[in-house]
Chain A
Amino acid sequence: MSPAEQYVAFITILRKEVKRYTRIWPQTLLPSAITMSLYFVIFGSLIGSRIGEMGGFTYMEFVVPGLIMMAIVTNSYSNVVSSFFGSKFSHSVEELLVSPTPSYVILMGYVLGGVSRGLLVAIIVTLVSLFFTRLHIHSYAIVIVVVLMTSMLFALAGFINAVYANSFDDISIVPTFVLTPLIYLGGVFYSMDLLPDFWAGVSKLNPLVYVVNAFRYGVLGVSDVSLTFAFSMIGGFTLVAFFYSLHLLRSGKRLRQ
Chain B
Amino acid sequence: MIPALSIENLSKSYDNGFEALKGISLEVKQGDFFALLGPNGAGKSTTIGVLCSLVAKTAGKVAVFGIDIDDDFPAAKKCIGIVPQEFNFNHFEKVLDIVINQAGFYGLPAGIARQRAEKYLRELGLWDKRDVSARMLSGGMKRRLMIARALVHEPKLLILDEPTAGVDIEMRRSMWDFLKKINAAGTTIILTTHYLEEAEALCRNIAIINHGKIVENTSVRSLLKRLQREVFIFDTIDELPEQIPVQGFVARRKDEHSMEIEVEKGQHINEVFAQLDAAGIKVSSMRNRANRLEEMFVNLVEGGA
Q: Is the CB of B55 within 8 A of A257?
A: yes
- Bound together, the chains give a CA A93 to CA B57 distance in angstroms of 20
Q: Closest A-chain residue to B110, C-beta based?
A: A8
Q: Which of A85-108 contact B (CB under 8 A)?
A: 86-87, 90-92, 94-102
Q: Which chain B residues border A4 with CB–CB below 8 Å?
A: 107
Number of A interface residues in the complex (CB < 8 A): 29
Q: Which of A27-65 contact B (CB under 8 A)?
A: none
Q: Which chain B residues border A6 with CB–CB below 8 Å?
A: 107
Q: Closest A-chain residue to B90, C-beta based?
A: A92
- Bound together, the chains give a CA A99 to CA B105 distance in angstroms of 6
Q: Does B104 contact A (CB under 8 A)?
A: yes
Q: Is the CB of B49 within 8 A of A91?
A: no
Q: Is the CB of B53 within 8 A of A256?
A: yes
Q: Is the CB of B105 within 8 A of A94?
A: no
Given contacts A6-B107, A87-B90, A252-B56, contact A100 B77 (CB under 8 A): yes
Q: Is the CB of A256 within 8 A of B104?
A: no
Q: Is the CB of B56 within 8 A of A94?
A: no
Q: Is the CB of A100 within 8 A of B56?
A: no
- Bound together, the chains give a CA A101 to CA B101 distance in angstroms of 12
Q: Does B195 contact A (CB under 8 A)?
A: no
Per-position 1/0 for A1-16, Cβ under 8 A of B = 1101110110111001
**B74 smallest CB distance to A (angstroms):** 4
Q: Is the CB of B105 within 8 A of A91?
A: no
Q: Does B276 contact A (CB under 8 A)?
A: no
Q: Does B86 contact A (CB under 8 A)?
A: yes
- Bound together, the chains give a CA A126 to CA B77 distance in angstroms of 45
A/B pair count, beta carbons within 8 Å: 82
- Bound together, the chains give a CA A87 to CA B105 distance in angstroms of 15
Q: Is the CB of A99 within 8 A of B77?
A: yes
**A21 smallest CB distance to B (angstroms):** 12
**A9 smallest CB distance to B (angstroms):** 5
**B210 smallest CB distance to A (angstroms):** 20
Q: Closest B-chain residue to A83, C-beta based?
A: B90
Q: Is the CB of B56 within 8 A of A257?
A: yes
Q: Is the CB of A12 within 8 A of B109?
A: no
Q: Is the CB of B88 within 8 A of A9?
A: no
Q: Is the CB of B14 within 8 A of A257?
A: yes
- Bound together, the chains give a CA A90 to CA B89 distance in angstroms of 7
- Bound together, the chains give a CA A92 to CA B102 distance in angstroms of 11
Q: Which of B96-127 contact A (CB under 8 A)?
A: 97, 101-102, 104-110
- Bound together, the chains give a CA A6 to CA B53 distance in angstroms of 18
Contact of B54 (CB < 8 Å), options: A5, A90, A97: A97
- Bound together, the chains give a CA A102 to CA B78 distance in angstroms of 12
Given contacts A95-B101, A98-B82, contact A90 B53 (CB under 8 A): no
Known contacts A86-B90, A100-B73, A101-B106, then 7 further A-B pairs from the complex at CB < 8 Å, ordered by chain A residue: A87-B90, A90-B90, A99-B77, A99-B106, A100-B78, A100-B106, A257-B14
- Residues of A at the B interface (CB closer than 8 Å) are 1-2, 4-6, 8-9, 11-13, 16, 19, 86-87, 90-92, 94-102, 252, 256-257
